[in-house]
Amino acid sequence: MAETPSATPIRVHVSGVRGRMGSLVATTVQREQGLVLAGGTDLGDDLPRAIRDGRADVVVDFTEPGSALRNTLAILDAGARPVVGTTGFQAADLARVRARCAELRRGAVIAPNFAIGAVLATRFAREAARFFPTVEIVELHHDKKADAPSGTALGTAAAVAEARGAASAAIPGEREIVPGARGALATGGVRVHSVRLRGLVAHQETIFGGDGETLTLRHDSLSRESFMPGVVLAVRRVTALDALVVGLEPLLFP
């Protein structure tokens, strides 16, 4: 999705710049018209000082779940706007970020997935959920992903649960021979199964079942480049926000 560059260049700092996603974000920023790479830090560096020294407008954070909330609040307090792809935020974490954004009147974007196709797949799942009585989610990621289930899978489960207003009926007499074989119960009783394998990037299937038919919505990120258009979109849009936005969907469909 093409964005019209701002007349004033947006200065972007990358937190997690030595990681695979962070280094790719830095490269992408350098080649995007209207964006300027203001600096980069990683775990252990003084993030607030680097933001101020680089006069960053926006900070893109791809680090690790244990530092996500701390970094996001530090970015806001340092005078910049966070665009966060680090997963692992809980409801209480989002509430803290939302309150800080409101207090500072400064926008932020926290997105479990920056791939445009993944956002659309969740939107389509919300529609399909109204018509099918059963649904399960299978998410597949590389073997270095720290959290399970993925933030995207949890977001999809929440969207499905909101649309259908009822959990899938339990299977009469069902018994797990091995605990966990039937997956985790997410929001609204939607079962989520997590796969971690070397060679994968990020993939998800949302499988709906009805009388005599199934519907499978599948999205595949085949490389990390798939996330860059969404990152750039969020960087450009967050400068006009004064509140927290969770996910890319509000930016794609305002």
Show which residues are catalytic.
141, 145
End-to-end CA separation in angstroms for the chain:
14
Instruction: Round to whole Å and give the CA distance between 24 and 67.
Output: 20
For residue 244, which amino acid is it?
L
Q: Which residues face 10 on adjacent strands? A: 35
Instruction: Round to whole Å and give the CA distance between 37 and 54.
Output: 9
Instruction: Round to whole Å and give the CA distance between 11 and 25.
Output: 13
Q: Burial letters for 14-24: b for 16+ Cβ neighbours within 10 Å, e otherwise?
A: bbbbebebbbb
